Chain A
């Protein structure tokens, strides 16, 4: 597609439930990133996929968080047993190795009640 697409755009879930957030990167982009952003704050790195290399999971805040990227394209970020502190906007971005600059999606606003 023309841009990075994220779904859903908004998600309200009850504490303790699992959620899945989806990211469709720009076609052909080999790198995909997940970030988390609290209201009015900067971006917190979560996980990074680059081609067929093992993902960099160093930013995942706990073992309740996991992500996968199937076929080098679509990625899913899963949060198990959600907590209120997981409430934030989750942003996905993609880029093409060798070119600078990320293209971001509009994010998924997650609210845990």
Chain B
């Protein structure tokens, strides 16, 4: 069974601080996706990383895919209250295309 361990599960920080969320697995995925979800809404795709070692930047967010394509990280620089939400990583099974989700990281950025 493929599992994705996401950490930390909850993070409360002050505006302006930096943070990193980790997503780890013993399985290899064909891609790893990061989603952000706000209350009452479905998750929204932020980024997809496909190549081992790949780094993608989205404004203050930096996403990295591990060399072995088993893990990923999300780093947010100078967090803002608007970054508050549930962040989910999801690995794509290379055979079926099915997405396996981590348990999520609830981020609260206080002004």
A interface residues (Cβ-Cβ under 8 A, vs B): 4, 31, 33, 35, 40-45, 48, 50, 56, 91, 93, 95, 97, 100-107
Q: Is chain B's binding surface mostly helix, strand, loop or mixed?
A: strand
Q: Is the CB of B101 within 8 A of A35?
A: yes
Residues of B within 8 A of A48 (CB): 96-98
Q: Is the CB of A41 within 8 A of B42?
A: no
Across the interface, B101 reaches (CB within 8 A) one of A43, A103, A107, namely: A43
| Residue of A42, A44, A91 with highest tally of chain B CB at under 10 A | A42
Within 8 A of A (CB), among B76-102: 86, 88, 90, 92, 96-102
Residues of A within 8 A of B101 (CB): 35, 42-45
Q: Closest CB-CB distance, A78 to chain B, in whole Å? A: 21
A40 CA to B9 CA, complexed, in Å: 10
A104 CA to B50 CA, complexed, in Å: 21
- Assuming the contacts A33-B99, A48-B96, asked whether A43 and B45 have C-beta atoms less than 8 A apart, the reply is no
- Assuming the contacts A50-B97, A56-B98, A106-B41, asked whether A100 and B103 have C-beta atoms less than 8 A apart, the reply is no
Q: B4-39 interface mask toward A, CB cutoff 8 Å, 1 = contact, 0 = none?
A: 001000000000000000000000000101010000
- Assuming the contacts A35-B101, A101-B48, asked whether A106 and B96 have C-beta atoms less than 8 A apart, the reply is no
Across the interface, A43 reaches (CB within 8 A) one of B88, B92, B96, B97, namely: B88
Nearest opposing residue in chain B for A4, CB measure: B42
A-B contact pairs, 21 of them (CB 8 A): A4-B42, A31-B97, A42-B101, A42-B104, A43-B43, A45-B99, A45-B100, A45-B101, A48-B96, A97-B97, A100-B48, A101-B45, A102-B33, A102-B45, A102-B99, A104-B42, A104-B43, A105-B42, A106-B40, A106-B42, A107-B42
A44 CA to B90 CA, complexed, in Å: 11
Residues of A within 8 A of B45 (CB): 101-103
Q: Is the CB of B88 within 8 A of A100?
A: no
